[in-house]
Amino acid sequence: MAQAVRTTCAYCGVGCGILATREGERGLAIAGDPEHPANAGRLCSKGTHLGETVGLEGRLLLPMIGNRQASWNKALDLVARRFRDAVANHGPESVAFYVSGQLLTEDYYVANKLMKGFIGSANIDTNSRLCMSSAVSGHLRAFGEDVVPANYADLDAADLIVLVGSNTAWCHPVLYQRMLAARAARGTKIVVIDPRRTETCAQADLHLALRPGSDVALMNGLLAHCRRQGALDEGFLRDRVSVPDDFWTSLEHDQDLWSVARACDLAPADLARFYDMFVAHPRTVTMFSQGVNQSIRGTDQVNAIINVHLASGRIGKPGAAPFSITGQPNAMGGREVGGLASTLASHMDFSPENVARVSRFWAAERIATKPGLKAVDLFRAVGEGRIKALWIMATNPAVSLPDAGRVREALAACPFVVVSDVMETTDTSVHAHVRLPAAAWGEKDGTVTNSERRVSRQRAVLPLPGQVRPDWWIVTEVARRMGWRQAFAYERPADIWREHVRLSTYQNEGARRFDLRAHAAMSDAAYDAMEPFQWDPAPFVDLCFSTPDGRARIVAVAQMELGEKLRDWPMNLNTGRYRDQWHTMTRSGISPKLARHREEPLVEMNPRDAMNLELIDGDIAEVVTPQGASMFRVAISDNQRVGDLFTPIHWTDQQSTGGRTGLLARALTDPYSGQPGFKSTPARIKRVALEWRGFLITQGEPAARPRCEWSTRIAVPNGALWELAGSGDFARLERCLPKGERIEASDDARGTRRIAVLRDGRLVAALFLSKSVALPTRDWLIEQLGLDTGAAVLAGRPSGHQVDRGAIVCACFNIGINTIVSAIADHGLVDVASIGAVLGAGTNCGSCRPALAGLLASAAKEVTHA
């Protein structure tokens, strides 16, 4: 058997170590790396199923100019020439790169060096602008440097973990499991602050479903409470923190429990419980994520959290820290190289000394001297025709930027768009003049930095397919063709790494904490063998901050006005993630196992709103905002506050006619960070009346893409499942069926039609449509694909009794909600472990354990009510 290669997960910022073993041509067996400090062998559902996503289906394997294949030489020459021409004719500000926290540090470093150092513009921004730029701004204001002052080990040592705007159980599952382990071992308290009741709340001690956008009021109220209770660290405040004049007097205004509870729309007793818990447990970690960052007051929200930690001395000690958790695998690496338009390189900004220093180091003659355009402004500039050449790498802005309809128009109008991606077709790459095939996870080599500043190697396990090349190579080749051969003489990622290390140490006499001195003389062999390491294992334990006077800074922040609801837009649209999908689904969407957790894009809403709007569960509804409109399937649940809608960010033109959350979000941004307020957009929702429902299951892809009002696709083993709904005649959908022997059953009175297509007696496709009666569950039919089924398949279910297992909860063992609920009732199960013993659910990756806990809790509630 092949040797396991130690690498790092492709997905989130937890940065789990993985052992990947090659199986056959393109297969990978995946296991958690027990020696990696980030996960000690654990993986979540996404990491566990990485092996299902490394096939070649949908991959871009050759450079393309328009719709024609081209040689690398031609494609690279063209890119270099168009960028050079644009700079020559319109100046360096007329070109831009839009990059990603999913690039490796080495890729990122060369892209940043090319744009800022040599093209001479800082118009390189990253999708991290949409992700944690408010945390960066908050850190800069409070600490003088963008340093995350926490380690995962703090979660083990804390007595209280406060999760603000973080659905940790779904988005950072391995850390969530770590918190639950700490809780089991030592009774750590967990508090969740989120307007939605997420699965993260299932095992929390307290959930505060605050009014969206009221986090500053909640945190300022907490700070005032700590002061009243004598819970401030007066010595630390006096010696190590700068506090603005009048801070305390202005803070006390309106900060009694009742006023704060009213501002946050919380029960005063719940708020008091949280405040008392906070005072009682000095070892507190406050972990925050997009519910805090993705707000038009994101930076203030970050500082409101940090203020509380500074004032109570909960920083620089084990188990006590404000902890901004990062989303993407290399969000942190991007911050280190300076991938944001607002930073220069290596934790240096655009001060004249830093510009001179970096320019010397790079021997760059026309280095950028001021910040460039931030993502939202950058695409606005594209739309206004100010950007003549744009290069997008490893991100899908036509889906993920706010007001994505405008972004699509801007891309369509831009004179020259280059897209480097691993996939052939994305909503963004359809606008590209040149598409460059990038090496994917499993094929590329380099480093990533996780949320606790731990640098790990991603290592290649698979050979480069077709003509794909790593991103660093592509950028380097373009830079050389633009005339900077000397400055881009890299032959391998290790060459770039060494230069990155040298820049971090260059004239750095302790001014920047980001300093990789200890890793300076790394040979190629040492780079290959690099063990995960933290570049600063204990930031701020010396209580010395990166400000000129070494003091941290409390920043006065006030709760923004939360205006009255607008008449035409009475709802608030909140957006975010599902447990088993990654962003725009280009990779996680390939895995049939991951697809079943949520098969369609849902709009979740409170039963009271649904009643008022005459919507029922399973309806199709259109969510409308001033920016755009898109359809979703309605899911009614009291996990949502009245007046709030929640939609997922994952669905694109590639899978679906609906679910286009990016078209809906507004492009308002935080004034300091430029991060968009994705978590809140005024909206309304209305029912879409459709006459029929159906589904199509095919081996491979259908003969034609199903065209009807609602059609959404997910991957199934060796094929696809399309959920369909529409009005009028559904005969046109038969065009989607492949050739073969057809057997059919129709019932005109009931408006049903069922068609199976067989080849050599084996099922290759099934189309079921109905105007009235319920459709059979899809699972059995999916399992029949490729089998010798005969006409009985038209029944849509096995003879004998049929069990509908319901939506998949456990992705590893394909166990549905109905199966679990009956097992809880039939066997009288009371804990997650006994569900595992009976069904196996939750015993592999553990990502579904919060969901199992939730099902147990609702079963227990039903028993007491009965």
Ligand X SMILES: Nc1nc2c(c(=O)[nH]1)N[C@H]1C(S)=C(S)[C@@H](COP(=O)(O)OP(=O)(O)OC[C@H]3O[C@@H](n4cnc5c(=O)[nH]c(N)nc54)[C@H](O)[C@@H]3O)O[C@H]1N2
Residues that bind ligand SF4 (CB under 6 A): 9, 11-12, 14-16, 39, 43-44, 46-47, 172-174
Euclidean distance between CA atoms 139 and 148, whole angstroms: 8
Give least dist CB 826 to ligand X, A: 31
Among 213, 313, 319, 726, binds ligand X (CB under 6 A): 213
Residue 738: phi and psi, rounded to 5, are -75, 170
CA 532 to chain centre: 23
Please list every residue from 123 through 162 that binds ligand X, using CB under 6 A: 127, 130-131
Give least dist CB 328 to Mo ion, A: 5
Binding mask 62-101 for ligand X (x = CB under 6 A): --------------------------------------x-
The DSSP 8-state label assigned to residue 523 in this structure reads -
- Residue 603 binds Mo ion (CB under 5 A): no
The one segment of 350-358, 499-507, 571-579, 766-774 that binds ligand X by CB under 6 A: 571-579
In which element (H, E) is residue 781 found? helix 778-784
Q: Which is nearer to ligand SF4, 43 or 163 (CB)?
A: 43
Q: Which does 231 bind (CB under 5 to 8 A by kind): Mo ion, ligand SF4, ligand X, none?
A: none
- Residue 546 binds ligand X (CB under 6 A): no
Please list every residue from 168 through 207 that binds ligand X, using CB under 6 A: 170-171, 193-196, 198
Give least dist CB 520 to ligand SF4, A: 28
- Residue 53 binds ligand X (CB under 6 A): no
Among 7, 359, 400, 673, binds ligand X (CB under 6 A): 400
Q: Which distant-in-sequence residues (6+ apart) come within 8 Å of 265 by Cβ? A: 210, 211, 214
Establish how many alpha carbons lie within 13 A of residue 553's alpha carbon, considering only the half-sphere containing its beta carbon: 20
Please list every residue from 573 through 602 that binds ligand X, using CB under 6 A: 574-577, 579, 581-584, 586
Give least dist CB 440 to ligand SF4, A: 15
Give least dist CB 650 to Mo ion, A: 13
Among 32, 316, 319, 327, binds ligand X (CB under 6 A): 327
Please list every residue from 641 through 660 that binds ligand X, using CB under 6 A: 649
Cβ neighbours around 94 below 10 Å, total: 22
Euclidean distance between CA atoms 26 and 461, whole angstroms: 10
- Residue 212 binds ligand X (CB under 6 A): yes
Cβ neighbours around 257 below 10 Å, total: 17
Give least dist CB 165 to Mo ion, A: 13
- Residue 165 binds Mo ion (CB under 5 A): no
Say which residue the tokens 């009235």 belong to.
772
Which two three-digit tokens encode residue 123?
Answer: 């118009």
Q: Which is nearer to Mo ion, 131 or 720 (CB)?
A: 131
- Residue 327 binds Mo ion (CB under 5 A): yes
Q: Which is nearer to ligand X, 97 or 540 (CB)?
A: 97
- 408 close to 126: Cβ distance less than 8 angstroms: no
Q: Which is nearer to ligand X, 209 or 841 (CB)?
A: 209
Residue 11: phi and psi, rounded to 5, are -100, -105
Q: Which does 576 bind (CB under 5 to 8 A by kind): ligand X, ligand SF4, Mo ion, none?
A: ligand X
Binding mask 12-51 for ligand X (x = CB under 6 A): x---------------------------------x-----
Please report, as a single letter, which amino acid is at residue 146. D
- Residue 117 binds ligand X (CB under 6 A): no
Which two three-digit tokens encode residue 339?
Answer: 């991938």
# residues near ligand X by CB under 6 A: 58
- Residue 674 binds Mo ion (CB under 5 A): no
- Residue 221 binds ligand X (CB under 6 A): no
Among 92, 165, 333, 719, binds ligand X (CB under 6 A): 165
DSSP-assigned letters across all residues of 429-483: GGG-SEEEEBPPTTT--EEEE-TTSEEEEE---SPPPTT-B-HHHHHHHHHHHTT
- 719 close to 785: Cβ distance less than 8 angstroms: yes
DSSP-assigned letters across all residues of 233-296: -HHHHHHHEE--TTHHHHHHTT-SHHHHHHHHT--HHHHHHHHHHHHH-SSEEEEE-HHHHSST
- 858 close to 824: Cβ distance less than 8 angstroms: no
Q: Which does 379 bind (CB under 5 to 8 A by kind): ligand X, ligand SF4, Mo ion, none?
A: none
Please list every residue from 456 through 485 that binds ligand X, using CB under 6 A: 471
CA distances from 511 to 240, 506, 791 (A): 17, 11, 76
Say which residue the tokens 């699509």 belong to.
408
Residue 10: phi and psi, rounded to 5, are -80, -20
CA distances from 203 to 188, 275, 843 (A): 11, 19, 17
The residue with its CB nearest to ligand SF4 is 47
Q: Which residue from 450, 766, 460, 714 is spatially nearest to 588, judged by alpha carbons?
A: 714
Give least dist CB 627 to ligand X, A: 11
Q: Which is nearer to ligand X, 116 or 587 (CB)?
A: 587
Q: Which does 535 bind (CB under 5 to 8 A by kind): ligand X, Mo ion, ligand SF4, none?
A: none
DSSP-assigned letters across all residues of 757-776: EEETTEEEEEEEEESSSPPP
In which element (H, E) is residue 747 found? strand 741-747
Give least dist CB 847 to ligand SF4, A: 8
Residue 762 backbone class (left: φ over 0; alpha: ψ -120 to 50; beta: rest): beta
Rounded CA Rg of the chain: 27
Among 64, 87, 99, 131, binds Mo ion (CB under 5 A): 131
Euclidean distance between CA atoms 117 and 344, whole angstroms: 9
- 285 close to 158: Cβ distance less than 8 angstroms: yes
Q: Which is nearer to ligand X, 642 or 787 (CB)?
A: 642
User: What is the torsional sign of CA 300, 305, 311, 315?
Assistant: negative
Binding mask 355-394 for ligand X (x = CB under 6 A): --------------------------------------xx
Q: Which does 438 bind (CB under 5 to 8 A by kind): ligand X, Mo ion, ligand SF4, none?
A: ligand X
Give least dist CB 336 to ligand X, A: 17
Sequence length of the chain is 866
User: What are the residues binding Mo ion (CB under 5 A)?
Assistant: 131, 327
User: What are the residues binding ligand X (CB under 6 A)?
Assistant: 12, 46, 100, 102, 127, 130-131, 164-167, 170-171, 193-196, 198, 212-213, 215, 289-291, 294, 327-328, 393-397, 399-400, 420-423, 426, 438, 440, 471, 574-577, 579, 581-584, 586, 649, 661-662, 665, 678-679
